[in-house]
Amino acid sequence: MAKHNLTPRQCEVVRLISLGCTTEEAAWILDLAPSTVDNHKSRAMMLLGTDKAALLTRLAIKFRISSLSDQLTRSEKRKSGRKNDGWN
């Protein structure tokens, strides 16, 4: 399996996006500005070789950034205001 070259922060952003979080929700969870999250997401997508946000979840699973059983933690749900993550 190919290795990705993402930074730890880019991996966090990709994981949250792959779980169905919006840029704003990911920003709340990570305590970042939405524009910063968007920059991390854009750079990660470039490094992963896609310009399609819909492929980001597939790539997150392929590169083991996220898994089918991954869920938002209790703290992440509370910070984002979500009751469920993207897989539920």
Task: Indicate whether 55 pLDDT > 50.
Answer: yes
Q: What is the pLDDT of residues 75-86, one digit of tens each?
A: 998 888 877 655
All structural domains of the chain, each given as residue ranges with its CATH number in brackets, are 8-80 (1.10.10.10)
Q: What is the pLDDT of residues 58-68, one digit of tens each?
A: 999 999 999 98
Is the dihedral angle over the CA atoms 34, 37, 43, 44 positive or is it negative? negative
- Token pair for 5: 């070259």
Neighbour-count burial of 46, counting CB atoms closer than 10 A to its CB (0-12 exposed, 13-18 middle, 19+ buried)? exposed
**Local structure of residue 31 (DSSP, 8 states):** T
Q: What is the largest CA-CA distance in the chain?
A: 35
